[in-house]
A and B are shown apart, each in its own frame.
Chain A
């Protein structure tokens, strides 16, 4: 099956710093990637949809300037949490969809646990 990786798997940072999370599709090209956020014991909430070569589409309530998304290639999307604060601590998961297939499966990365001190 298709593999999606995320890096780093865990990150601890100080309040006010920026953190970049990478999402890579390892064995397929992903025209669309999604970024989700999950609080402890809660469901996944979609933050944004990232399309290769274009600006990301953010869900209502998600701050674009806070969560910068770049999808520069068909295999890489990055999420940068700018000026992170403790309330940004969460589990961030990306997923990728292959092109040309409607109703295709989303392949999820293993997630990144962010802790902001």
Chain B
């Protein structure tokens, strides 16, 4: 079964608009972490934001915020005031467990975001 699902293969947004990238996950482990990464055409993976399963508040990092709905098992990324430089591939990822050995990341299929001027 797919552990991380990103249902939007591609998104097109006008510059300065906000955009929400969807991510749902599946796990029976009560301890897990959710990540969002940005991958521009150069290929590097850029860490954007992290949400722990026990975190009470939604994570925020500058223009990025994570809409964490635990009961729905969703962890959508919200980018406010989008910029042309935000055009890239975006991956949602999950890590299960809460110990030193639980470091493996499982990635979703990705969403290609294109910001139009």
Report chain B residues within 8 Å CB of A46. Answer: 104-106
Question: With A91-B43, A108-B45 as given contacts, are A102 and B105 in contact (CB-CB < 8 Å)?
Answer: no
Produce 1/0 per residue, B32-50, CB < 8 A to A.
0101010000111101001
Q: Is the CB of A44 within 8 A of B91?
A: yes
**CB-CB nearest in chain B for A110:** B44
| CB of A95 closer than 8 Å to a CB of B | yes
Give chain B's interface residues, CB within 8 Å of chain A: 33, 35, 37, 42-45, 47, 50, 52, 91, 95, 98-100, 102-110
Report chain B residues within 8 Å CB of A105. Answer: 47, 50
Q: Is the interface of B mostly helix, strand, loop or mixed?
A: loop
| CB of A97 closer than 8 Å to a CB of B | yes
Shortest C-beta distance, B104 to chain A (Å), equals 6
| CB of A49 closer than 8 Å to a CB of B | yes
Contact residues of A between 4 and 59, Cβ < 8 Å to B: 32, 34, 42-46, 49
How many residues on the A side are at the interface (Cβ–Cβ under 8 A)? 25
Report chain B residues within 8 Å CB of A102. Answer: 98-100, 102
Q: Find A103's partner among B43, B47, B95, B107 (CB 8 Å cutoff).
A: B95
Shortest C-beta distance, A51 to chain B (Å), equals 9
Q: Is the CB of A97 within 8 A of B103?
A: yes
A-B contact pairs, 10 of them (CB 8 A): A43-B107, A46-B106, A91-B43, A95-B45, A103-B33, A103-B98, A106-B47, A108-B47, A111-B44, A111-B45
